[in-house]
Amino acid sequence: MRLLSRFFAPRLEATAHCDLPCGVYDPAQARIEAESVKAVQEKYQANEDPEFRTRAILIAEQRSELVKHHLWVLWTDYFKPPHFEKYPNLHDLFNQATKAAGASGTKGSMDPATGQALLDLIAEIDKIFWETKKA
């Protein structure tokens, strides 16, 4: 049995800081969706038509969900323990950003200020992301 385990043991171990070769992850995807949410919130505020407002709410909720998805992918697939050690506020920043895109944020409010708050958090994540790409 020992001979077999040595025979099948990997001869080469490869490691990477992300699941795929670099270049597939980017906070820009979350930012674009968050910009869309804020734009919808602004259009909602400028229009009194109930049907328009209903559609705007639906779109804002869908786009907010996409923001959360893109943030979760970065949080779970791109950022690794060394990043969290170097940037100890990163977990909290992602938590704040995903909540800002959730029911207590843009998914539950048509106030453009919530959209801007989300964009500000994504900008902080973006800054850290690009710092990690330099390393």
Range of the domain at 87: 24-134
Decide if 60 contacts 37 (C-beta within 8 A): yes
- Residue 122 belongs to a domain: yes
Question: In this predicted model, what pLDDT tens digit does every residue of 82-100 receive, in sequence order?
Answer: 999 999 999 999 999 999 9
pLDDT bracket for residue 11 (50, 70, 90): low
Spell out the residues 6+ positions from residue 131 whose beta carbon is closer than 8 angstroms to its own. Answer: none
* Per-residue model confidence (pLDDT) at position 24: 78
- Provide, rounded to the nearest whole percent, the portion of the chain with pLDDT above 70: 83
Query: pTM for the complete prediction?
Result: 0.84
CA-CA distance, 129 to 123, in Å (whole number)? 10
- Residue 61 belongs to a domain: yes
Number of domains in the chain: 1
Domain at 56, CATH number? 1.20.120.400
